[in-house]
Structure 1
């Protein structure tokens, strides 16, 4: 019979690091709120969470690398937001930041969760960094049309992924 290995967010313990970009700060602070809210919901003591702030998305991989390299963390969560403009800069930042985060993920054996929003406009970012969903509020669905994706808080989702991955890796 096959053995299935799965992580359980409720079974994770240890320290967690969050690296949050200051660029597009209204969005990234909402992501951070969601991340902290969910970690606390699953019983992670705030004393076991370190938050590092960096100027922008491009600085996320280096800081995540330094944190992962210490061996002090069950997972590292990278939070940022890049909104498309009129130049190719968006593509360069998104591609290289994503690649850098994956390199850190594979290079240290520590889960690095990518909470980098890559949005076409501010409205998309706001839908993915909604504080109201943390309250379980119907306000989160206010103004949504059927063609739009439901509001969410990707910071919260990243926290769950970090908890699940740290639990899974502890079982392997």
Structure 2
């Protein structure tokens, strides 16, 4: 397999980002959040608000409520098949 990396010189200076993160499976979602924050920092994004939800089910509702406050929204959560007791 041949890998081809494409990189750009994007700048996020002055951009407001909201990140909606699920607390369920936090051992995964915390790593997703840290990776997202690292990427945003490297691209100059300084205005970030993190919103926490109990689970992934609530993420779209929170996104809808806060989307007009930000230039972009990230939704982070981990749904693992068979991991939810119901």
Query: What is the TM-score normalised by the length of structure 1?
Result: 0.42
Give the Cα–Cα distance (whole angstroms) in 1 for the partners of residues 43 and 37 of structure 2.
10
1:9 offset after TM fit, Å? 6.7
- Which residue of 72, 76, 80 corresponds with 2:77? 80
Q: Which has the larger radius of gyration?
A: 1
Normalized per residue, which structure has more strand? Answer: 2
Aligned pair in 2 of structure 1 residues 86, 64: CA closer, same or farther (>3 Å)? closer
Match of 1:37 in 2: 38
Give the Cα–Cα distance (whole angstroms) in 2 for the partners of residues 22 and 61 of structure 1.
14
Which structure would you say has the larger RCO, counting Cα contacts within 8 Å and 6 or more residues apart? 2
Unaligned runs of 5+ in 2: 1-7
Give the Cα–Cα distance (whole angstroms) in 2 for the partners of residues 60 and 50 of structure 1.
14
1:72 offset after TM fit, Å? 2.2
Please give the per-residue CA displacement for 1:37-86, whole angstroms capped at 9, x wherever unaligned.
000000111xx100000000000000000011xx2211110000000118
Query: What is the TM-score normalised by the length of structure 2?
Result: 0.80
Normalized per residue, which structure has more helix? Answer: 1
Match of 1:57 in 2: 56
